[in-house]
Chains A and B, each alone.
Chain A
């Protein structure tokens, strides 16, 4: 007969995953600041900064998609990281956008309009960023309360943002699309795991893992 499962106690040490999450998310930025100050960037520093702010943004966006499958598997402690990863992704995306518009294009309206309006890779990146803005603003508990049921619906827009960000990456690389396609594959997998039947299977698997580990 299946034993009554006792919910895991909230151990004080579960905080370590949050600390690890914060530290991990900030490492790329710290490293970039260090490299800039130490003169380690290439002779095309704006390109480096653009890339080194964009890549973590994309990575963290995809990481936010991993939280639900992992918590479905049973790792509940990881859930608080979703909001943080989303906000860090927004931080990097903002730096990425500012690097592009201010450092690179010097806020030149004609050039920016041409770059964003006419060139598809820049346009989808810009759209992804636009979607992230309201998501970042409404990420707080207060907004969650205020929006109630609609909050979850709004934050589903994250799926679109991730999709656009992946396409942005695919469209900007010169010839070798293998890495961007890998990001696409991972993102697609994480989305597919949300389909109810697959999610139920994940949950079952998670429970059996727990049973075998505590047996």
Chain B
């Protein structure tokens, strides 16, 4: 479907849309959180600024930040204040406030399992060994809303190649940190914590599969999955696991949290596919945050060129 230019919100309207109400802003100010500074960091892409304050003072959209289809990147303010991160809260606006005290230093990522060279990497190692570049990708939630996010990251394959998966390795399993003292939502037994996700090895090796350490040139905020998270833009957002502590190469398809919660609805693949509806709602259209009205959902979230080949011959309805 052609997106009429009249549907794209003009930037000035975008920037002056209703923000956090004054009551909430006053509350956050009272907590001693001021507006983050916009100072640009050093030129090296690795040098990102410290994480912003949860209030996210409404960074204006850097002019010209668009995805490869020409759609504007979502305002940072929105990215910071609308989060599905149930470890903190199921309230999308509360996550930012509750995640304020989440510590990301020290942090290690274990890479192991069926590999020749298991690694334990600290964030300083990761930042120095891997070059984070700007990757502007769409994120499409299974709830049928989406954003365009200028990530800073590198391909997951770089870390996997360093660990050298053996020939037995067929899948990659990921685990999120489990820290109940800082993550109140973990006390809810309904979900089989910790959060787990997985990819087939060839999916994980696809250059599009990204490990992100920043957004808009700044370190990831806690609510966005600090300090390091996965971004698989051709799949529904819940596959892009946050705050990773473990990456494991395995032989069998690993369990994933949403599949455990409801196997009939959240499959292992969960590729964005307008032709395969969720059992209870449609996936053929979505709401782009910041826009009014709906837009058609694209096959593989618009990344068919890069990833369709992974699924040749596969029944995507059966392998939802």
Contact B280 A115 (CB under 8 A): no
Q: Which residues of B contact A178 (CB under 8 A)?
A: 190
Residue A141 at the chain B interface, CB threshold 8 Å: no
Instruction: Please report the C-alpha to C-alpha distance between residue A45 and residue B191 in the assembled complex, in whole angstroms.
Output: 27
Residues in A whose Cβ lies below 8 Å from that of B46: none
| Closest-CB distance, B13 to chain A (whole angstroms) | 14
Query: B75: which A residues are within 8 A, CB to CB?
Result: 43
Label chain B's interface by main secondary structure: loop
Q: What are 6 of the A-B contact pairs (CB < 8 Å)?
A: A38-B18, A38-B23, A43-B75, A43-B82, A106-B293, A115-B282
Chain A residue contacts of B281, Cβ below 8 A = 115, 119, 121-122, 172
Residue of B21, B90, B258 touching A38 (CB-CB under 8 A): B21
When distances are taken between beta carbons in the complex, the residues of chain A under 8 Å from B77 are: 43
Decide if B19 is an interface residue (CB 8 Å cutoff): yes
Q: Which residue, B18, B90, B93, B284, has most C-beta atoms of chain A within 10 A? A: B18
- The reply to whether A120 and B190 contact each other, CB–CB distance below 8 Å, is no
Q: Closest B-chain residue to A106, C-beta based?
A: B293
- What's the Cα separation between A40 and B27 when bound, in Å? 13
Check B24 against A40 for contact (C-beta < 8 Å): yes
At the interface, yes or no: B320 with Cβ under 8 Å from chain A? no
Q: Which residues of B contact A172 (CB under 8 A)?
A: 280-281
Given contacts A106-B294, A175-B258, contact A114 B284 (CB under 8 A): yes
For residue B290, CB closer than 8 A to chain A, the reply is yes
The answer to whether A44 touches B282, judged by C-beta atoms less than 8 angstroms apart, is no
Q: Which residues of B contact A40 (CB under 8 A)?
A: 18, 20-21, 23-24
Complex Cα–Cα for A121 and B144 (A): 15
CB distance from A16 to the nearest CB of B (A): 30
Q: How far is the CB of A154 from chain B (nearest CB, A)?
A: 31
A120 to B190, CA, bound (A): 25
Check A44 against B18 for contact (C-beta < 8 Å): no
Contacts of A171 in B (CB 8 A): 280
Cβ 8 A contact of A39, one of B21, B82, B143, B277? B21
**Interface digits, B238-282 against A, CB 8 Å rule (1 contact, 0 not)?**
000000000000000000001001100010000000000100111
How far does the Cβ of A166 sit from chain B's closest Cβ, in whole Å? 15
Q: Does B78 contact A (CB under 8 A)?
A: yes
What residues on A are CB-neighbors of B143 within 8 Å? 174
- Any chain B CB within 8 A of the CB of A150? no
Binding site for A on B (CB under 8 A): 18-24, 75, 77-78, 81-82, 90, 92-93, 142-143, 145, 190-191, 258, 261-262, 266, 277, 280-282, 284-285, 287, 289-290, 292-294
A171 CA to B294 CA in the complex, in Å? 21
User: Least Cβ distance of A56 to chain B in Å?
Assistant: 18
Q: Report if A118-B287 is in contact (Cβ < 8 Å); known contacts: A38-B22, A38-B23, A42-B82.
A: no
> Which residues in window 80-100 of A have CB below 8 A to B?
none
Shortest C-beta distance, A189 to chain B (Å), equals 23
Across the interface, do B293 and A119 meet the contact criterion of CB distance under 8 Å? no
Q: Within the complex, what minimum Cβ distance (angstroms) separates B163 from chain A?
A: 33
Question: Is the beta-carbon distance between A119 and B282 smaller than 8 angstroms?
Answer: yes
Say yes or no for A193: interface residue by CB 8 A criterion.
no
Pick the most buried of A47, A103, A174: most chain B CB atoms within 10 A of its CB. A174
Chain A residue at minimum C-beta to C-beta distance from B278: A119
Most buried by B among A43, A45, A108: A43
Known interface pairs A111-B285, A119-B281. Does A35 touch B82 (Cβ–Cβ under 8 Å)?
no
